[in-house]
Structure 1
Amino acid sequence: MNLIFYFDHPILPHAGGTERAAYLLAEALSRHGHRVSFLSLRRGDSLPASAPYLYLPRTDTLSCAENREYVETLCAGQGIDCIINCGANQDDSFFFSHERLSVQASIISWISFDVRTGLDYFSALLRKDFSTWGNAVKTLLRRAILPYRKYQAVSAKRKKYRDMFRGSDKVVFLSSRYAQDALQLAGTPERARLYSIPNLLTYEPAETVPCRKENAVLYVGRLVDSPKKVDRLLHVWKRVRPRHPDWSLYLLGDGPERAALERLAARLKLENVHFEGVQDPAPYYRKARILCLTSTHEGMPMVINEALSHGCVPVAFNSFHAAAEMLPDRETGRLIPPFSLRLFARELDELMSGPHVPPRTDVLTRYQPEKVIPQWLECLQEQP
């Protein structure tokens, strides 16, 4: 088949979770004989030579006549069999729809996030700032209108999934729990078939090199306020650091909140905190004993499986429906009730106090290519 993977940013092997998951899948499908190309709204540098990278003509907006005509001409001219929309959890789903595009290609909407994306913990998404009187008033006003904002969010989510079910041939979720959430929100699909397929592993556990672990705690991800909430991790570090002066916290990644997080670390007088920027995470996974994830919501975060592949124990809030699938027991990792910093600090302190016990990794078998790729091949081959 002739496949196009779309995402608003270029799909790269070392970018964010969505991009990395899409790249790994595209590479695997290419090895199975499918022709693959990438399409994005924005341009990128240092692109791999593994597949053609194409760009929409208008970069300031997705939904416009120029981009629609480009996609329709591209699909007809190159005989595209299927568009895999990797940005379907965003509003890109409204553009990549049979109700808006006149294409013969089938459209697969790939949902790489928790379907409810924070609706269960809506108040936790509220940005709180009491640093000045003006900011305090704004925070109180945001809190006052929170019920109405949640009503709006639920209504918009319901409309989006109903539209997606009408405009897509197939919708792929990361977990059956997310498919159930979508059905509860939008009702029975009018057109689309639903699939539950997890992300591929980034690293094979058998290929990791055994090494001596250091007294290191690790965060890997974007430095954004919502949904990542890395400030929670800094407050947790404030609680545990005095008992463990020989430990270090490494934060890998970048984003709009980096400067604010660095200021918070300085204000809390935190020691042994290292903002490393964008780096290859593999060397850090190899040396770290613990990975921390303090997000309000996730989809199926690849960092958890990446940590397990390197013998690094994940600690995360049980704030997304796939969490219990990824960390089913305490021997695999630690799930903390949302969003108790006290309990998070207690579990982290326990792990830091004892000897390093490598986590169980048998759960990773469900994410290996021999399990995941056949599910995608079945999804692609089934007629809409």
Structure 2
Amino acid sequence: MNGLMTTKKHILLYNSNEPLPQQGGMERVTDLLAKALLNVGYEVTLLCKYSNRLGKIYNAPTDILYFPGNKDDRCFLETLVIERNIYCIIDQTEGGIVGRFGIFRHREDFKSKVKLIAVQHNSTRAILDNYNLAFAKDFTQTRCGILKQFFYDNVFLKLKYYHSVCLTKRLYSDLNTNYDRIVTLSSSFIEDFCFYCPKADRTKLFAIPNFNTFESCKKTAGQQYVLFVGRLRNCVKGVDKLLRIWNEVEDLFPDWQLDIVGDGEDRTILEIQAAKMGLKHVMFHGFQDPALFYQRSKIFCMTSIYEGFGMVLTEAMQHGVVPMAFNSYSSVTDIIDDNINGILVKPFDEKEYADKLVSLMSDENKYKKMSHASMAKSITFSKEIIVEKWCNLIENL
């Protein structure tokens, strides 16, 4: 891969949040990409706006700088690009450098001729297709609840949806105008981009998935654990759905446990929900290193309403943990081949999900076959394969 580079180019990798991996998927991806680009010979500087929200020390793999957070941000960036001879900026924030929410409003305002790469980490179309679920609220228990619910569902949400579609069209148009390359996580997202931006320059659009988190893995011990890893935010991750699914399963398998690893704003609500359901074999572990949980689990359950990629799926597959997910966003089929290396469920059919989970928990031979197939599929997302795609993109800007 080093042979791809004629000179040692300097890459500026921008993410608004400090890329402490425990914070979330985008931070983990940024940290991994910085390390990978350094390993193949690029110079890399990390740039962000905010320190991590967990209050932990981030051991950056290279220099990390922060915007001053005032009117000097433009001057700061222009000077940084010149002083460090930056070849290109990889913008992980989808328009945070140039655009209506960027440091510069228009490309011509950014006097530097540095190359710009925008990375899309989410499937906007999946969000919009499931808008009522993603932004659902329950007002029925409040005063005038029925009236409030009707107004929210039939007026507010529809206006919010229309506004989101218009904003998406403007954002994609800005990206198409201002950036030299636009990287999506799936070829299907290229079609989504063109759906909202029909005049998109397709030569700018590239699909590069996230690469595997772990360098090497111990295969799961295959103990009787079902696992969830992620942020506890129901309107995105659908963990409330997972608890309802587990409620249909738990009594049939009293020796199994559901591990929920992660934290978030809905943790208390979910713990109350589990208690009201009388669930006896659910453990909330908070923020933890998920590796130990992957190593002991058999099945990984994702119940997300939408995702960009879903790194937790490939993390599980690296360990031979069989993944299950709703077929609710297009890139999930890049990862899971249904009934071969994992299981896809019609969105958002909780009964079908429970039935398929019961079937997998009941059939040891099926589990073993899928476990081996999931590890084999994870090789598709090896760092070597994916980083080569990044090198080719950077060298051909």
Same-fold call, TM > 0.5? yes
Partner of residue 24 from structure 2, selected from 16, 19, 34: 16
Instruction: Report the equivalent of 2:3.
Output: none
Task: Give the Cα separation in 1 of the matches to 2:129 and 2:305.
Answer: 10
Instruction: Report the equivalent of 1:139.
Output: 149
Instruction: Report the equivalent of 1:367.
Output: 381
2:332 maps to 1:326: no
Offset from partner CA, 1:352-382 (integer Å, 9 cap, x none): 2222422413322321123211211111111
Task: Give the Cα separation in 1 of the matches to 2:318 and 2:144.
Answer: 47
Residue correspondences, number: 376
Give yes or no for contact 2:91–2:97 (8 Å, CA) kept in 1: no
2:124 maps to 1:118: no
Offset from partner CA, 1:11-33 (integer Å, 9 cap, x none): 13343111111221211111111
Q: CA RMSD in A?
A: 2.0
What letter corresponds to residue 185 of structure 1 in structure 2?
Y
Instruction: Report the equivalent of 2:316.
Output: 307
Deviation for aligned residue 1:217 = 0.9
Instruction: Find the residue that maps to 1:54 and give its secondary structure.
Output: strand
Offset from partner CA, 1:89-115 (integer Å, 9 cap, x none): 789854166255332221110111113
Structure 1 residues 239 and 371, CA gap change in structure 2 (3 angstroms): same
Indicate the larger mover: 114-123 or 167-176.
114-123
Identity %: 32
Task: Give the Cα separation in 2 of the matches to 1:256 and 1:184.
Answer: 33
2:76 maps to 1:70: yes
For structure 1, list consecutive stretches of 5 or more residues without a partner in the other structure: 59-63
Give yes or no for contact 1:12–1:23 (8 Å, CA) kept in 2: yes
Instruction: Report the equivalent of 2:262.
Output: 253
Indicate the larger mover: 85-94 or 6-15.
85-94
The 5-angstrom pairing of residues 201-212 of structure 1 reads: 201-204=212-215, 207-212=216-221
Instruction: Report the equivalent of 1:106.
Output: 115
Task: Give the Cα separation in 2 of the matches to 1:366 and 1:134.
Answer: 53
Partner of residue 269 from structure 1, selected from 260, 270, 278: 278
Deviation for aligned residue 1:179 = 0.8
Task: Give the Cα separation in 1 of the matches to 2:141 and 2:279.
Answer: 20
Deviation for aligned residue 1:140 = 2.4
Instruction: Report the equivalent of 2:250.
Output: 241
Partner of residue 49 from structure 2, selected from 34, 41, 52: 41
Partner of residue 175 from structure 2, selected from 154, 158, 164: 164
Task: Give the Cα separation in 1 of the matches to 2:111 and 2:97.
Answer: 19
Deviation for aligned residue 1:192 = 7.2
Normalised to the residue count of structure 1, the TM-score between the two structures is 0.92
2:293 maps to 1:284: yes
Instruction: Report the equivalent of 2:166.
Output: 155
2:390 maps to 1:381: no
Instruction: Report the equivalent of 1:194.
Output: 205
Offset from partner CA, 1:150-183 (integer Å, 9 cap, x none): 2221111111100111111110011111011101
Structure 1 residues 363 and 92, CA gap change in structure 2 (3 angstroms): farther
Structure 1 residues 382 and 115, CA gap change in structure 2 (3 angstroms): farther
Instruction: Find the residue that maps to 1:165 and give its secondary structure.
Output: helix
Normalised to the residue count of structure 2, the TM-score between the two structures is 0.89
